[in-house]
């Protein structure tokens, strides 16, 4: 059974961000499956992949916020940095032989759900309308073009 089940209250409404969040949830579920299989090296490997993916996701979010001139960018970056540090601490405790996997899973679940529903929901309202999913907005300016480049979508015809 999945450790975290995706529910609609986790959707931000920006599909590129929701896709990345879902992938993090998939990694957490894979981490739980690895724990249940009892293979510590697989657990460590999955956690490493989860940490890598989450860091690129954070960089993506921060880029989006920067482009949008989001007023709480620095605070959001700090929250991300603290989380990355926490995961790295757990990884080194694991490497030192401590059995912290249950704590890791509980922390990941609690942190991610809380972060998506609160911190991310706040910046999403600031950047909404500027991503390729929201093409109803016909305004064309340097900002939307730059954002499209950042998001990797083809230029509008």
Cβ atoms 7, 25 nearer than 8 A:
no
Considering beta carbons, is residue 70 or 101 the nearer one to Fe ion? 70
Considering beta carbons, is residue 42 or 111 the nearer one to Fe ion? 111
Q: Measured between alpha carbons, how far is 153 from 151 in angstroms, rounded to an integer? A: 6
From the list 12-20, 37-45, 47-55, 114-122, the region that binds Fe ion by CB under 5 A is 114-122
Q: Measured between alpha carbons, how far is 56 from 124 in angstroms, rounded to an integer? A: 18
- The site that binds Fe ion (CB under 5 A) totals a number of residues, namely 2
Q: How many helices (H) and strands (E) does the chain have?
A: 6, 0
How many CB atoms neighbour CB 123 within 10 A? 22
For the bound state, the minimum distance from the C-beta of residue 119 to Fe ion, rounded and expressed in Å, comes to: 5
Considering beta carbons, is residue 18 or 61 the nearer one to Fe ion? 61
Considering beta carbons, is residue 18 or 120 the nearer one to Fe ion? 120
For the bound state, the minimum distance from the C-beta of residue 104 to Fe ion, rounded and expressed in Å, comes to: 19
For the bound state, the minimum distance from the C-beta of residue 145 to Fe ion, rounded and expressed in Å, comes to: 24
Nearest to 46 by CA among 21, 26, 22, 19: 26
Query: CA-based Rg of the chain, rounded to a whole angstrom?
Result: 17
Q: Measured between alpha carbons, how far is 60 from 21 in angstroms, rounded to an integer? A: 12
From the list 12-20, 42-50, 85-93, 112-120, the region that binds Fe ion by CB under 5 A is 112-120
Residues numbered 12 to 71 that lie near Fe ion (CB under 5 A) are 61
Considering beta carbons, is residue 62 or 133 the nearer one to Fe ion? 62
Place of tokens 């990694």: 27
Q: What residues line the site for Fe ion (CB under 5 A)?
A: 61, 120
């Amino acid at each position: 059974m999945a450790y975290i089940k995706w529910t609609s209250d986790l959707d931000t409404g920006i599909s590129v961000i929701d896709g990345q969040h879902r992938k993090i949830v998939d990694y957490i579920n894979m981490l739980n499956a690895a724990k249940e299989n009892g293979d510590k090296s697989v657990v460590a490997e999955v956690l490493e992949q989860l940490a890598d993916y989450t860091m690129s996701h954070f960089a993506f979010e921060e880029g989006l916020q920067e482009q949008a001139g989001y007023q709480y960018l620095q605070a959001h970056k700090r929250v991300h940095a603290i989380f990355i540090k926490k995961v790295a601490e757990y990884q080194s405790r694991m490497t030192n032989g401590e059995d912290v996997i249950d704590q890791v899973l509980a922390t990941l679940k609690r942190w991610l759900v809380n972060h998506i529903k609160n911190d991310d929901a706040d910046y999403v309202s600031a950047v909404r309308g500027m991503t390729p999913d929201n093409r109803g907005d016909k305004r064309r300016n340097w900002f939307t073009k730059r954002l499209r480049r950042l998001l990797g979508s083809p230029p509008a015809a």
